[in-house]
């Protein structure tokens, strides 16, 4: 199956292929293939990804539009748009504005304990800057800014336990 993944303004065409022996791999635009094993760990949004023998923790939370997702890979948050080939062709006919423009609510990608808040209200952050640390399952996960902006509000305090999808802060 062919998917179009939009990350950081770049569109990647990926093909997910299952071979007759039961292996799954992803074919990249340059025709390279990555062997993958994707297993559900806890709940419906926490996965273990083994890609070319490298292990990654992945949290996937749906965005506000059905093709958008907040994806945390090894603690780094990415805003992704995932479309099938048909959806991609249809959206090309009616393009949408940049979904990272304006306010962005950063939500907890998993339940856990907020151990550190690295920003304060009014602080200007660059894309990729550390926002906070969320401890889950005895692992510290750094949550990083998915875009450049200013911290408008912070909804939690260090030492507070949060549920998955709980709003943590707002960037504008």
How many CB atoms are located within 10 Å of the residue 42 CB?
Answer: 12
**First vs last Cα of the chain: how many Å apart?**
36
The helix (run of H) or strand (run of E) holding residue 93 is helix 85-93
In-domain check, residue 56:
yes
> How many H-runs (helices) and E-runs (strands) does the chain carry?
1, 16
What CATH number is associated with residue 116?
2.40.50.100
- Claim to verify: residue 89 and residue 7 sit in the same structural domain: yes
Domain count, the chain: 2
- Claim to verify: residue 78 and residue 109 sit in the same structural domain: no
Residue 157 has what pLDDT? 94
SS3 88: helix
- Claim to verify: residue 152 and residue 84 sit in the same structural domain: no
Which residue segment(s) compose the domain that 36 sits in? 2-93
Give the CA count within 13 Å in the CB-facing half-sphere of 141: 25
- Claim to verify: residue 62 and residue 139 sit in the same structural domain: no
- Claim to verify: residue 109 and residue 74 sit in the same structural domain: no
In-domain check, residue 98:
no
Residue 113 has what pLDDT? 94
Give the CA count within 13 Å in the CB-facing half-sphere of 51: 14
Instruction: Tell me the average confidence (pLDDT) per consecutive run of 10 residues in the chain, 172 residues long.
Output: 88 89 86 84 77 87 83 88 84 54 83 94 93 87 89 95 91 92
Residue 94 has what pLDDT? 53
Residue 97 has what pLDDT? 46
Answer with the one of 61, 93, 125 that is the final residue of a domain.
93
């Amino acid at each position: 199956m062919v998917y179009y993944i939009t990350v950081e303004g770049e569109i990647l065409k990926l093909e997910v292929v299952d071979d007759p022996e039961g292996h799954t791999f992803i074919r990249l635009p340059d025709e390279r293939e990555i062997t993958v094993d994707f297993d559900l760990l806890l709940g419906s949004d926490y996965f273990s990804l083994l890609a070319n023998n490298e292990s990654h923790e992945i949290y996937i939370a749906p965005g506000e539009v059905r093709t958008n997702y907040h994806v945390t890979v090894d603690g780094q948050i990415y805003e992704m748009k995932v479309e099938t080939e048909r959806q991609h062709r249809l959206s090309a006919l009616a393009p949408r504005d940049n979904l990272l423009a304006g306010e962005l609510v950063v939500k907890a990608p998993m339940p856990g304990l907020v151990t550190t808040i690295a920003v304060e209200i009014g602080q200007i952050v660059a894309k990729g800057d550390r926002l906070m640390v969320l401890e889950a399952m005895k692992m510290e996960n750094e949550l990083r800014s998915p875009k450049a902006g200013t911290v408008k509000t912070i909804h939690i305090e260090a030492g507070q336990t949060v549920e998955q999808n709980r709003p943590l802060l707002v960037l504008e």
